[in-house]
Amino acid sequence: GPLTHSYTYCSPKPHDSNMGEAYVLGVDEAGRGPVLGPMVYGVCYCPLSKYKEVSTLGFVDSKTLKETDREAHFTLIQSRSDIIGWSVRVLSPQDISWNMLNKSKYNLNAQAHDATINLIREVLSMGINLREIYVDTVGPPESYQKKLLTLFPSIDVTVSKQADSKYPIVSAASICAKVTRDHTMKRWAFVEKVNTSRIFGSGYPSDPNTMAWLKSNIDYVFGYPRIIRFSWATCGTILEKEAALVKWPSDDSSSQAINSLLQGHDYKHKSKFFEDMKSVNDF
């Protein structure tokens, strides 16, 4: 069905996990910058005793791989469920927009941090003894690392720029996040009953295909389908130029009603999207 709410998916913990065995976990994201579609955070984890073996599987930063190679790596991750576990947090464009446009601002960095923290907590709640965590970041690593160390004082946390190219466990997490986003976009079900083009490119404002899609799929009254992140400046600029000017009543009740239309809810479920897949080709 349509992606209208954010959700979390967690794979079963590795089959060969022993009670109390030390684990290493990596964190990375996909889709932070696009004007459309979800932002996906992924984690991948394995026993520290197996990390050398996992490192020989050839995982690299997903951005350096062709789509078919990413899918092959993701299939490999699934096939090694004896020693590898993974989870993703899929933040819907509706939730991203509502959080950023709400009166009490909840910016993208805060949403990203909370997605990471919640994924780590989910893994810990499964009884996994995390001893080392490696996190990729696009912002200042020092303050973020301090925040995570405060929340998880018994775990050795390293936050680093380009961690997805330095640490194989982060590379594996980047593959989980990127493949999840790619297939979410491919399978996107438009709620709006309109004939909308699916040739929206990568979603980044720098992509000519994305900008062409934005210009040719705007509705004069309603703007864009819910795949769009309305909080992005790119979207706002085009709407101001090409769409109808709307003046809202200024009373609080009207503002609350408008916000309620955008607001999503936090769902955690075993999505059929993941439960049914035996390999990436089943997406």
Q: Which residues are annotated as a binding site for a divalent metal cation?
A: 28-29, 136
Residue 103: DSSP 8-state: S
R_g over Cα of the chain: 20
| Separation of alpha carbons 195 and 101, rounded Å | 28
Residues 124, 26, 120: CA angle, nearest 5 degrees: 25
Give, in order, the Cα–Cα distances in Å from 199 to each of 83, 185, 193, 208, 212: 38, 11, 17, 11, 9
> Do you know the residue count of the chain?
283
Residue 251 φ then ψ, to 5°: -70, 155
Assess contact for 11 and 90: CB atoms under 8 A.
no
Q: Residue ranges for the binding site?
A: 28-29, 136
